[in-house]
Structures are given as C-alpha cells and as structure tokens.
Amino acid sequence: MKRAGVVGWPIEHSRSPLIHGHWLKEYGIAGSYTKIAVAPEEAADFFASLAQRGLAGCNVTVPLKEIAFAAAEVKDPSAVAVGAANTLWLDGGRLHAANTDSFGFMRHLELSAPQWREGGDQVAILGAGGAARAIVHGFLEAGVAEVRVLNRTRARAEALAAHFGPRVTVHDWAARDNASAGAAVLVNTTTIGMKGVGSLGMDLSRLGPRAVVADIVYVPLETELLARARARGLTAVDGLGMLLHQAVPGFERWFGVRPEVTPELRDIIVADIEGRA
C-alpha cells in the first residue's frame, strides 16, 4: 500500500487529506494520505528519510517549503522558479521537488475564466510572497507581456522582479488603483480578506469591463474583493480551485492515477469550510 501525506508546522488546519482521501476512495486505490506535523528544525532530516518512513512522497506547507526545495536532489523548473517546493516524490531513489501552485492557479483560471486574455496582455498581482511568485511564474509561462507586482514592502517586490526579469514590473502599494488599470487579471495573493478580516481598499472602477478578479483566499469563499468585483459585473475567481487543482500532480506521482477535480470534490471541501466557520 502506497503512503503519502502533507507535512507542515502546524498542520491541523490542512484540508489536503480530505482531497486525497476522496480520490483514493473514488479510484479504488489501496493507499493512505495523512497529516504529518514536522518542526522546522527536523524537516531536512524528515525529507531525507521519506523512503525509510515508507512514504512515496508528500505535500509540503508553510513554513517548510523552502527547506523541502533545498532537500531535493532533482528540482523541477516550477520549484526553481519559485524557490520553494510544495510537492515531493521519490523516483529511482532520488528525491524530486516541484511547485504545483502555478499549475493549480492557472488551471483554475482557465476553467473559471477561459476568456481572461480578452482584457489585455498585462496582469496585476497584489503581494510578493511565495504564492505571488508561483502565480507570476504561471502568467509568464502563459506568455503575458507584463506582470505588475504591488506589495506593501517595495523591496520584497523588487527582489521578486529581479528574480523573474524585465517582464515583471514593480509599483508602489499606494498606487495600486492606477497600477492595476487596464489589467486583464487582478490577483490578490495577500492574506487580506482571510476570514473576513481587512480590506484591500481597491477602486475596481479602473479595471476594464472584461477584467477578471481572482483571490487566492478561500475562507471565506467570497471575499470582499470578489463580492465587489461581482457587483461591478466582473468575472470573479475564488481561491478554492487553486487548492484543488494544485493537488492533482502530486496524487498522480504517488498513486499512478491522474485525478479529476469534480463538483463533488468541491462540495466536500466547501462543506468542511462552512463546518469550521
């Protein structure tokens, strides 16, 4: 029986076991997927001992993604681009690492707003953390002309831009309304709006009528940003799809089946979100 899990510190909040457990049952696979609490100081040794622990691989969440990236012998370009890994697997005795957040976000965007390119060839990203890096990578891979990054700490945004090159430009947080004007997609990668706390204070009237507004926050499913976008008649993309789709490549690596993200799976996670509210 193949075993995998999600590793983090803390890890109680993770919904990954619900996702992978559903797929294991759906496809009749004799396997298991569990939560594994690993302290940061123990993480490097843990990742190096996956085989001895009988694990085919694991997902990795905060604050261990950079440690997982460093521990891997073989690094997928997605992990190199972001400088962090959320998916590890063993192949030929070697530890491989990838970052599937880029895939997860872009897949959900394409399914939820297939027309997203109609609004132009520039996108605006709020935030400059690990999620922002993954999403910037996804848009650059998709061939957009410019990714505008807006972050409260400008130095962090400048470091991100330096990492990715000239198609990524930096704009002051205070100028986020003007800097997002004309963007085909506006993405919030910050924690502002999580659990209904805080407001981005964005003037969405600067966005064109075909613009898409996305938020990676999924608790609540409709953040203030998304509610205001829908009120203006704009296409709004919630954060839950990114969580669901980023799980697909890892499951395939560990259990040999490429799973589908279905309405039934989404309903399971929505029910869990509402149950914990």
Residues catalogued as catalytic: 65
Q: What is the 3-state secondary structure (H, E, C) of the chain?
A: CEEEEEEECCCCCCCHHHHHHHHHHHCCCCEEEEEEECCHHHHHHHHHCCCCCCCCEEEECCCCHHHHHHHCCEECHHHHHHCCCCEEEEECCEEEEECCHHHHHHHHHHHHCCCHHHHCCEEEEECCCHHHHHHHHHHHHCCCCEEEEEECCHHHHHHHHHHHCCCEEEEEHHHHHHHHCCCCEEEECCCCCHHHCCCCCCCHHHCCCCCEEEECCCCCCCCHHHHHHHHCCCEEECCHHHHHHHCHHHHHHHHCCCCCCCHHHHHHHHHHHHHHC
Q: For residue 238, give both structure tokens.
A: 């919630």
